[in-house]
Amino acid sequence: MLRSSTSLLAVLGLAAQTALGALQVNLDDQASIKAAAKLVAQDLVSFYPINTPGWTVGILPGPPPNGDYYWWQGGAMWGTLIDYWHHTDDSEFNDLISQAMIAQTGDDRDYMPRNWSASMGNDDQAFWAMSAMLAAETGYQDPPKDAPQWLSLVQAVFNEQTHAERRAPAGTQCEWGLRWQVYPSNNGFDYINTIANACYFNLGARLARYSNNNQTYIDLAERTYDLIKKIGYISTDWRVFDGGHLPNACKDINKAQFSYNAALLLQGSAFLYNMTESQKWKDELDGLLSGMLRDFFVDDVAYEPSCEPAVCNTDMKSFKGYLHRWMGSTMVMAPYTQAKILPVLKKSAQAAVNQCTGGSNGRMCGFHWTSGQFDGEVGAGQQMNVLGALMSLITPGTDIPLTNATGGTSVGNFNAGSAQDVNVVFAPVTTGDKAGAGIATAILIAGALGAWTWMSLD
């Protein structure tokens, strides 16, 4: 009876917010959190111009100069909304999610559609794969049987990113490090950065667990983590830096710190600790967490230290949501961390909600949470941030991620992906010639479009 009363109050509160503006929520009441999250999710989807004639299914407006958003942020948005469904059981957006996630898989079913070749980063491809991985882990609805399947899409991305062509060559200081960009014609091909390697590490850890502690995935994830720590991207005092350039032996480390780099490493370490219970991964988990609480929160409110004092670009304005979501996931995979993480996320989420007073509806959210007031600028990233913050408070009560032995239904393919060379992870792909031709074509297209490059931190 009490539960029904609480839900009724939440519904009434939802109606009041809709009428009066200004997002309001009781963070001690999960029904209230879910009601507020629904409004934030609706406002997030309002940035997706699906009803615009000729719009490409699955992407946000862009890339610049045609809009603010690069391709990867579409994948990040759908992953955020899969998480929203998982936390609330609200399926309002599921048809949009599935349509978008399938539409952008590309001809080779590997999240490399050719029209994005000129700005295709390994991290971009991986963000779509991480959303597909989340779909498999949460039991999100499987695609039709003739469509690409969530698990096989993740395996395709992981296999392709294991290929030598994507990596720093042997004999170099950063040997085997994953390059930022996929194609040699793209600006940043010689940049071995943390985000690309953290994505690969994160996917490897989660594939390992989903596949019943598959040792090959564990080994590749561990090799990646050990490499970026060895070359100094993770400092001895647990600061996570952005990356370095191959021609400089990765020693010209860009010491900018962004929360999504550290959060990906934290979540991946939590998955490996959950599987292995090894002291190594507990130590890494504890160290990363201590550094994150120091570097990415001001008085327990999320903050981006490398850009927020000045100007953050559109990409960076989505990082706080990933920070909250992946710290929330860490609490599930390593429950002992909850006592340290949850109070911080709760205070941060309250600050986030407090400044959701903008836009024509009076409840749109800004980016600068520590200011205590709306900063005058709205965007999809800002909405993803607050949605992630709200969901992170519900995460400790959600189910532990599925595996293929505990109810996961997504169909996989160990040999998925295009055969750029012999697949070093599993057995060679028998249809490699045909798939390899697709990659060759994509490279030619990238060369033709080389003048249009992604302007970024590099």
What tokens does 63 get? 């890339």
3-state SS, residue 243: strand
Residue 115: which pLDDT band, with cuts at 50, 70 and 90?
Answer: confident
Average pLDDT of the segment spanning 326-348: 98
> What local confidence, expressed as pLDDT, does residue 54 receive?
87
Amino acid 265 reads L
For the entire predicted model, the pTM comes to 0.89
> What local confidence, expressed as pLDDT, does residue 420 receive?
53
| Topology given in CATH for the domain delimited by 2-448 | Glycosyltransferase (1.50.10)
- Alpha-helical regions (H) of 46-121: 71-88, 94-103
For the chain, give the percent of residues with pLDDT over 90.
83
Average pLDDT of the segment spanning 332-336: 98
Average pLDDT of the segment spanning 119-143: 98
> What local confidence, expressed as pLDDT, does residue 107 receive?
95
- By the 10 Å C-beta count (0-12 exposed, 13-18 middle, 19+ buried), 372 is classed as exposed
> What local confidence, expressed as pLDDT, does residue 327 receive?
98
> What local confidence, expressed as pLDDT, does residue 425 receive?
38
Strands 243-245 and 297-298, by their bridges, are unpaired
Residue 257: which pLDDT band, with cuts at 50, 70 and 90?
Answer: very high
> What local confidence, expressed as pLDDT, does residue 418 receive?
76
Closest CA to 244 of 188, 291, 186: 188
Average pLDDT of the segment spanning 179-204: 97
| Residue 155 phi, psi dihedral angles, 5° rounding | -65, -35
> What local confidence, expressed as pLDDT, does residue 428 receive?
37
Average pLDDT of the segment spanning 141-146: 97
> What local confidence, expressed as pLDDT, does residue 19 receive?
38
Over residues 66-108, the pLDDT tens digits come to 999 999 999 999 999 999 999 999 999 999 999 999 999 999 9
> What local confidence, expressed as pLDDT, does residue 391 receive?
98
Lowest-pLDDT choice from 52-66, 142-156, 205-219: 52-66
CA–CA distance, 370 with 38 (Å, rounded to integer): 23
Q: Could you tell me if 352 and 365 are in contact, meaning their C-beta atoms sit under 8 angstroms apart? A: yes
Over residues 240-252, the pLDDT tens digits come to 999 999 999 999 9
CA–CA distance, 386 with 380 (Å, rounded to integer): 10
Amino acid 260 reads Y
Closest CA to 289 of 263, 316, 271: 263
CA–CA distance, 265 with 205 (Å, rounded to integer): 10
